[in-house]
Amino acid sequence: MTGGTFDKEYDEINGQLYFKETHLQEILKLGRCTVPVEIDTLMMIDSLQMTPHHRSRIVDACRTCRHHRIIITHGTDTMVDTAKVLAEAGMDKTIILTGAMIPYKFGSSDGLFNMGCSLSFVQTLPPGVYVAMNGRYFSWDKVRKNRITGIFEEI
Domain that holds residue 11: 5-154
Neighbours of 101 (CB within 10 A): 18
pLDDT at 85: 98
Distance separating alpha carbons of residues 123 and 104, to the nearest angstrom: 23
Distance separating alpha carbons of residues 147 and 139, to the nearest angstrom: 19
Q: Residue 61: phi, psi to the nearest 5?
A: -65, -40
Q: Residue 48: phi, psi to the nearest 5?
A: -70, -20
Instruction: Of 20-24, 28-32, 60-64, 123-127, give the lowest mean pLDDT range.
Output: 20-24
Residues 97/72, Cβ–Cβ less than 8 Å: yes
Average pLDDT over residues 128-136: 96
What pTM value is reported for the model?
A: 0.89
Average pLDDT over residues 65-90: 95
Tell me the CATH number at 137.
3.40.50.1170
Residues 140/84, Cβ–Cβ less than 8 Å: yes
Number of domains making up the chain: 1
pLDDT at 11: 65
Q: Per-residue pLDDT tens for 4-27?
A: 777 766 666 776 765 677 778 888
